Amino acid sequence: MASRGRWSWSALALCLCVGAGRPVFAEVPDSVTIEDPWPSLRGMPPGAARAQALCEALECGPGALEQGHWSRLLEVAYAAFLEELSLYAGEPACNVAEAMYLAAPAPWSSLCLEGVTRRTGNLARSAQVLERGLAIETDPVTQLELRERRAIVAAGAGELAVQLDWLGRSLIQKGSDGLQMRARIALAQGARKRSTALFRVLVDRSRGPLPTLGVPPPWALRGWGLALLPAGPESSVPPGGATH
């Protein structure tokens, strides 16, 4: 659900964070040429040793670094984080994400840490990061993203009441992800008319003379179609395989 283009991850990996967790982009004058300040980190193979080296570098902060070197370090750390994720290396990815979050607290680093902790089953930490971000975030678009993710974490923890609470907050902001999650819950509970109505809102938002969505969210049309089907058994094939 983070594929809606709200943030450019390659750009966000280069940002410096000041104030109350708000990102600002590092600007280096065109006249300044920066050689790669982190060749050894870039050349290290994935794994615990590289994660530890990155964490130690991030813990030192930008204070003693030359112009532009801090943003390059964030770039290296983020690339390593993505690589560890692609290798399903939970612990190194978590360690790098924690270090990035502590060194540069901002929406991009919050979502990195929230995502990897959720995927590795640490839902308490994921919820903590999201709620901490919501406590300081003022941008409505970012607030909506964090609220919808908080609802997903609650769903993973089996906390239906908490999930519905956060979905309600996201629906106030007309969140498309929140709306399709609420429609899915209604469908799972057998409330087909309710589910149909909620999914239809998403379908309608992508049509008409003034659509607010370019295309329906991925589950809108599928969910709407499922909700329209008559109730019945999940499968007509009895246990043990097909009949002859």
Residue 17 clears pLDDT 90, i.e. is over it: no
Backbone angles phi, psi at 36, to 5 degrees: -60, 110
Domain count for the chain, please give it.
2
pLDDT for 131 = 94
Range(s) of the domain holding residue 223: 174-230
- Say yes or no: 125 and 225 in one domain: no
Domain boundary among 135, 162, 189: 162
DSSP bridge pairs for 15: 25
pLDDT band of residue 188 (cuts 50, 70, 90) is confident
| Residue 60: predicted pLDDT | 87
Contact 163, 151 (CB under 8 A): yes
Residue 76, domain member (yes or no): yes
Looking at the fold, whether 186 and 134 belong to one and the same domain comes out as: no
Is 223 in contact with 184 (CB distance < 8 Å)? yes
| Residues 16 and 102 occupy one common structural domain | yes
Are residues 47 and 104 both part of a single domain?
yes
Q: What is the pTM of this model?
A: 0.71
> Do residues 75 and 144 both lie within one domain?
yes
CATH number at residue 10: 1.25.40
Q: Average pLDDT in the 3-23 region? A: 33
Q: Are 19 and 41 in contact (CB under 8 A)?
A: no
Residue that is last in its domain, among 162, 187, 221: 162
Neighbours of 215 (CB within 10 A): 10
The DSSP secondary-structure symbol of 90 reads: H
Q: Do 142 and 203 reside in the same domain of the chain?
A: no
Q: Does residue 243 lie in a domain region?
A: no
* φ and ψ at residue 215, rounded to 5 degrees: -135, 155
Write the pLDDT tens digit of every residue in 24-73. Answer: 334 444 444 456 677 888 888 989 999 999 999 999 888 877 777 888 88
62 and 157 inside one domain: yes
Does 190 lie in the same domain as 150?
Answer: no
pLDDT above 90 covers what percent of the chain? 34
Residues 139 and 179 in one domain: no
Establish if 179 belongs to a structural domain. Answer: yes
- What was the pLDDT predicted at 1? 39
